[in-house]
Amino acid sequence: MSDRPRRTKPTAAGPRPAVIAIMAGLTSLPAYLRTPRMEIVAANPLCQALYGGALDDQKLPLNLARYLFLDPHSRGFFLDWDGVADDLVGTLRGQAGREPRDRALSDLIGELSTRSDEFVVRWARQNVRLHRTARKRLHNPLVGDIELTGNALELPGDDLILIAYTADPGSQAEDQLKLLAAWTATQEPAYALPEGKRDDHA
C-alpha cells in the first residue's frame, strides 16, 4: 500500500507516531518533517521518490543545509540552486538569531563555513528570511523537470516543521506527481521486504 509509513531513524526524542501518521497520510503530496536547524527526520514515500534517493530511509536524518552545500547531487536536483541556497541561509540566520545558544546549530554553521565558499558568501550578507511558501523547480529522473510549491506548516509543540509540496490544479506538474505516485506505489512491496531479502531488480 502506498500510504504505509516507512521506517525512519528517530531523532533524540523522535517524531511522535501521530505526526509521522499525518505526514504518511499525505499520499498524493510529497512531504517531509524537519527540525528548525534543517534536519530532515522523516519523509513519505512520494517525497523520497521526488528527491531521487536522497531521502531514503538509510540516509535519514539528513541535514538539508549539508545536502545543499556539500552534496553535488543537490545542484542537479534544485534547478534554481542559487535561490534555494539564498533562502536556506536566510532561514538559518533567522534561526540562529532566535536560538543563539543552540550548540548543534552553531556547529553546523561552523562546519559549513569551513567547507563551503558558497555558504560563506551568503552568510556574510546577513540576510534573514522567513517564508511559509516558495516555488521550487526540481529535476526528477523519472518525470523530468517539475515545478511545485513548497508549503511549510509549523508544529511548535513538536519543534518540527512539515513541508508539503503541491502542484497547481490542472498543471503539467499535477500530472507528473500522479505519475510519480503511481510509480512509487509499485515500489512499495520491495521497500516492505526485510533487509537482505529485497529484490535488487525491483
Read off the C-alpha cell for 25.
497520510
Per-residue pLDDT tens for 87-101? 999 999 999 999 999
Where the chain has pLDDT below 50, the residues are 1-11, 189-202
Integer Cα distance of 156 and 26 in angstroms: 20
Spatial separation of the C-alpha atoms in residues 127 and 140, rounded to whole Å = 30
Q: Which residues contact 172 (CB under 8 A, 6 or more apart)?
A: 146
Where are any strands of DSSP class E within 128-174? Answer: 133-140, 144-155, 160-166
pLDDT in tens, 142-185: 999 999 999 999 999 999 999 999 999 999 999 999 999 999 99
pTM of structure: 0.84
Instruction: Give the model's pLDDT for residue 13.
Output: 57
Report in angstroms the alpha-carbon separations of 116 from 54, 106, 142, 155: 20, 15, 30, 31
Domains in the chain, ordered, with CATH? 29-189 (3.30.450.180)
